[in-house]
Amino acid sequence: MDTIAPTIAATILSCVVLLARGCGPMHRQAPPQAGFAADSLEHATPELLDRGSRRYESLAEARYRGPAKYLWNAPHTHVLCLEQHRSRSPAGPGMALPALRFFIYDLQADEIIFEDALDNARVAWESDTSIKVVITPGTVPEIEPREFGYRVDVVSGLREDL
């Protein structure tokens, strides 16, 4: 019995070390939404991200009080951290809208560069340096169909309406 306890303790310590190094389970990605490029959902490997901080994960989990989804741009310089849930509707529980909260984190500067929260919207990387946010309006006007929302350039920080 005395020889088993040190072995169990060493095994537990090894598991803790592996998890601390990021060798634990990876976050799963949601399937791509219609109209958005599937390659924007690339999942960065821990080796690519170990050269910088993983502070974005703790920020996202603290802000969203639980796990978040992480979408990296192709060069892995920025990460889009997002959380989706059903919002409470004043019209009743059957009328709840999908709510989206997200922020863009600059891995090199180690800081949040843009943040927003919207109902009935979706977000994805449009290019290596910009995200596209599409908002579905509650009442669609009787005009030529077009997208509502905006783009954010992660390099300049500029926001542009669609």
Q: What is the pLDDT of residues 2-13, one digit of tens each?
A: 555 555 555 554
3-state helix, strand, coil in the chain (%, to 5): 25, 30, 45
Going by pLDDT thresholds of 50, 70 and 90, the confidence category of residue 150 is very high
Mean pLDDT of 135-161: 83
Q: Which residue has the higher pLDDT, 31 or 103?
A: 103
Q: Which residue has the higher pLDDT, 128 or 22?
A: 128
Mean pLDDT of 132-145: 76
Q: Which residue has the higher pLDDT, 44 or 84?
A: 84
pLDDT score for 116: 95
Amino acid at 41: L
- Helix or strand run (H / E) with residue 61: helix 55-64
Going by pLDDT thresholds of 50, 70 and 90, the confidence category of residue 91 is low
User: The tokens 């929302």 sit on which residue?
Assistant: 149
Mean pLDDT of 42-47: 46
pLDDT score for 153: 96
Cα 99 from Cα 122, distance rounded (Å): 9
Query: How crowded is the C-beta side of 22, counted as CA atoms within 13 Å?
Result: 14
pLDDT score for 95: 65
